[in-house]
Amino acid sequence: MEAMSTVGSERVAAVVPDVLAAIHEVLERHRVTEEEWYAALAYLTEVGRADEFILLSDVTRTSVLIDAMSHGASEATASDVEGPLYRDDPPWREKPCKIYGSYEGMGDGDVLMVRGNVTAAGGGPLADAVVDVWQTGPDGGYDLWDPRQPAFNFRGRMRVDEDGAYEFETMLPKPYTVPTEGPVGRYLEAMGQHPWRPAHIHFKVTAPGYKPLVTQVFFPDDPYLENDTIGAVKPALVRPVTPEDDHLRCEFDVALAPA
Ligand code: BEZ
Ligand code: FE
């Protein structure tokens, strides 16, 4: 009940009867049996025990729907789904900001320099913005899944310069599969839905007096751009990657809406 207390009781009273009416209508239409209903309840119990409700919301494209309804058209940079893999209190990265350390198996992935400017939507630079990023590397997925990687690998927060600029060194991420070994993996298999996401970098950008922006940046020519399993790709968030000296370069400017 604690989570419910964070939502106003008027909203609960307004929304829940419609949720129940929709569920009851589906149960009746499909003549769902007692056995099937208890199997469904056992499944949801398992999803909760495995802490996979956010993942379930993502792969059912429910998170994308909520994101779209929550952030309408504006001059701010397009938002996107956060996903379940943010880790609280990521390390602060000092200039020159590098967000990864070497690990066995990382191979010869491409070094990627990412830079951009944080501004107010339709306005000037935000000198006190913080850019927080997380991503997979060239091998092994997220640090959380890969014991070979140092803690908080491919994660970090950085403060922008006085002119709102940021830059960090990372490696070009690769497409990866969302976790499939738990109950959500069984859902994907039952639905014939593949588990792949296109390569991306997650961003959480904050500045005092502005709405926090959670988003993702994607790269062209990815085999999963058109069929991300969570359906989160927005054309405005696909950024070119260009060769520069001995590394790749990607530019991503961020505009924040006033709070
Ligand atoms: C992610 O991009 O980190 C992610 C999103 C949805 C489900 C799993 C992972
Ligand atoms: Fe991700």
Confidence of residue 1 (pLDDT cuts 50, 70, 90): very low
C-alpha 72/C-alpha 66 separation (Å) is 11
**How do strand 130-135 and strand 176-177 relate by DSSP bridges?**
unpaired
Asked if pLDDT for residue 90 goes beyond 50, the answer is yes
What percent of the chain shows pLDDT beyond 90? 89
Interval 33-55: pLDDT, tens: 999 999 999 999 999 999 999 99
Asked if pLDDT for residue 158 goes beyond 90, the answer is yes
User: Which phi and psi (to 5°) does residue 84 adopt?
Assistant: -95, 5
Interval 108-144: pLDDT, tens: 789 999 999 999 999 999 999 999 999 998 887 899 9
First to last CA, the chain: 29
Q: Which atom of ligand 1 is closest in space to residue 85's alpha carbon?
A: 3
Bond into 96 cis (ω within 30): yes
Ligand lying nearest the CA atom of residue 230: 1
* C-alpha 81 – ligand 1 centre gap (Å): 8
pTM of the model: 0.93
Of the ranges 104-108, 187-191, 219-223, which one carries the lowest mean pLDDT score? 104-108
Pocket test for ligand 1, best of 230, 234, 237 (most atoms within 8 A of CB): 230
Contact 63, 81 (CB under 8 A): yes
Tokens 């069929």 correspond to 227
Q: Tell me the average pLDDT across 164-188.
A: 97
Q: Within 6 Å (CB) of ligand 1, which residues are found?
A: 55, 58, 83-85, 178, 197, 230
C-alpha 118/C-alpha 195 separation (Å) is 33
Tell me which amino acid residue 170 is: T
Confidence of residue 223 (pLDDT cuts 50, 70, 90): very high
Confidence of residue 4 (pLDDT cuts 50, 70, 90): low
